[in-house]
Amino acid sequence: MTALTVTHLSRTFDVSASWLNRVVERKPRQFLQAVNDISFTVPLGGCLSLVGESGCGKSTVARLVTGLYPPTKGDLRFAPGKKGDALSAQMIFQDPYASLNPRWRVKNIIAEPLRELKLRDTKAEVTERVEELLRIVGLSPTDGAKFPHEFSGGQRQRISIARALASEPEFLVCDEPTSALDVSVQAQILNLMRRLQDELGLTYLFISHDLSVVRHMSNRIAVMYLGRIVEEADTETLFADPKHPYTKLLLQTIPDIANPHRDREVAAGEVPSPLNPPKGCTFHPRCPMAMACCSIEIPQMREIGGTRVACHAV
């Protein structure tokens, strides 16, 4: 059973200067291809993770999936949920500071979905549900009277999770929910999210730039580079047998607790600008295995024993 099927999804942003500036400086229009022809499926009740460096288009995928941005091309389809109509996606955002309205009390933030979607009828029922949600995410019911600035980053992320749960979603998009947090707090939030997944039967699309975070969350991992998926495999397969040179590079950069001083290959070069991506395989300027054809021809996605990978050298 799949919860979400994404096919050939693309999103382009118009980043041209204003009309007047273009005319005066004789510049052409400029487009940024943030997401480029990606396809994946998310299993119902499972977790697919998207991994990649900053700027590779992860948040854009999240916003496309939740419907905050319309896709430029391609299609995404949710399976029917428990109530029969298409699954609705809720989102947990990257920045715990910008994701809560600073002027609202926490109880009103969490009650908003209940009121907007009319999930509870009376005031008493709303209050009761808000307190229950606060307890579920490990906060105290009395915290509802406070404002967001009275909480730490980790606690704010708990509030965000409570708000997302309030709308009784079956599908959650988690956009780097822990990247702004301390390592010790990260583990707590990740454990909370895993517990909630088990208890509530949620489906996750989980986004991170950190493979080690993703390892404990996901059934399947898709690696993104400059708007494209370059490799997709089951979690254990990906860690045991990475095929794409970029995946190998990402795995090498994970800090090794057992052997912190091992020699690591430095990630060669910078991420190229998505405004002006390299021709052929966009990874070729940094790739240790690059061949002549890599700078000419875009590698197609192929399936090799359960792994989908796009590379000429595999």
Partner 1 sequence: MISLSLIRKSDLWYSFTRSRSAMVAAIVLAMLILTAIFAPLIAPQNPYDPAQLDMWKSELPPIWDQLGEWPYVLGTDTQGRDMLSAILYGTRISVVIGIASVALSLLVGLSLGLVAGYFGGVVDNLLMRFGDVLLSIPTILIAILVSTVVRQMLPPELRDVGSSAVLVLAITLSGWVQYARTVRAQTIVERSKEYVQAARLLRVPARRIMVRHILPNTLTPIMVAATLNFGMAILTEATLSFLGIGMPPGQPSLGTLIRIGNQFLFSGLWWIVLFPVLQLCLLVVSVNLLGDWLRDALNPKLR
Task: Please report, as ranges, the residues that interact with Mg ion according to CB under 5 A.
Answer: 59
For residue 218, which amino acid is it?
S
Q: Does 312 bind ligand SF4 (CB under 6 A)?
A: yes
Q: Which does 59 bind (CB under 5 to 8 A by kind): Mg ion, ligand SF4, partner 1, none?
A: Mg ion
Q: Nearest residue to ligand ATP, using CB?
A: 59
From the CB of 288, what's the least distance to ligand SF4, in Å?
Answer: 8
Judged by CB under 8 A, the stretch of 45-53, 70-78, 108-116, 214-222 that binds partner 1 is 108-116
Buried b (16+ CB within 10 A) or exposed e, 29-58: eeebbbbbbbbbbbebbbbbbbbbbebbbb
Q: Which of 163, 243, 284, 308 binds partner 1 (CB under 8 A)?
A: 163
> Among residues 49, 58, 62, 48, which one has the least CA distance to residue 3?
48
Euclidean distance between CA atoms 192 and 161, whole angstroms: 9
**CB-CB contact of 62 with 175 (8 Å):** yes
Tokens encoding 119: 């999930």
Q: Which of 17, 22, 79, 95 binds partner 1 (CB under 8 A)?
A: 95
Half-sphere exposure of 188 (CA within 13 A, CB side): 15
Q: Which does 163 bind (CB under 5 to 8 A by kind): ligand SF4, Mg ion, partner 1, none?
A: partner 1
> Among residues 276, 220, 226, which one has the least CA distance to residue 246?
226
Nearer to ligand ATP, 38 or 139 (CB): 38
Q: Which of 3, 4, 9, 34 binds ligand ATP (CB under 6 A)?
A: 34
Nearer to Mg ion, 126 or 221 (CB): 221
Q: Does 68 bind ligand ATP (CB under 6 A)?
A: no
Nearer to partner 1, 4 or 294 (CB): 4
Query: How far apart are the two ends of the chain, measured CA to CA in Å?
Result: 30
Q: Which does 147 bind (CB under 5 to 8 A by kind): Mg ion, ligand ATP, partner 1, none?
A: none
Q: Does 290 bind ligand SF4 (CB under 6 A)?
A: yes
Q: Does 209 bind ligand ATP (CB under 6 A)?
A: yes
**CB-CB contact of 265 with 22 (8 Å):** no
Half-sphere exposure of 207 (CA within 13 A, CB side): 23
From the CB of 14, what's the least distance to partner 1, in Å?
Answer: 12
Nearer to partner 1, 66 or 188 (CB): 66
Q: Does 57 bind ligand ATP (CB under 6 A)?
A: yes
Q: Does 91 bind partner 1 (CB under 8 A)?
A: yes
Q: Which of 2, 5, 10, 13 binds ligand ATP (CB under 6 A)?
A: 13
From the CB of 287, what's the least distance to ligand SF4, in Å?
Answer: 3
Residues with Cβ < 8 Å from 244, sequence gap 6 or more? 223, 230, 231, 309, 310, 311, 314
Contact set with ligand ATP (CB under 6 A): 13, 15, 32, 34, 52, 54-60, 94, 209, 274
Contact set with ligand SF4 (CB under 6 A): 244-245, 281, 283-284, 287, 289-291, 294, 299, 311-313
Contact set with partner 1 (CB under 8 A): 63, 66-68, 89-91, 93-95, 98-104, 112-113, 116-117, 160, 163, 167
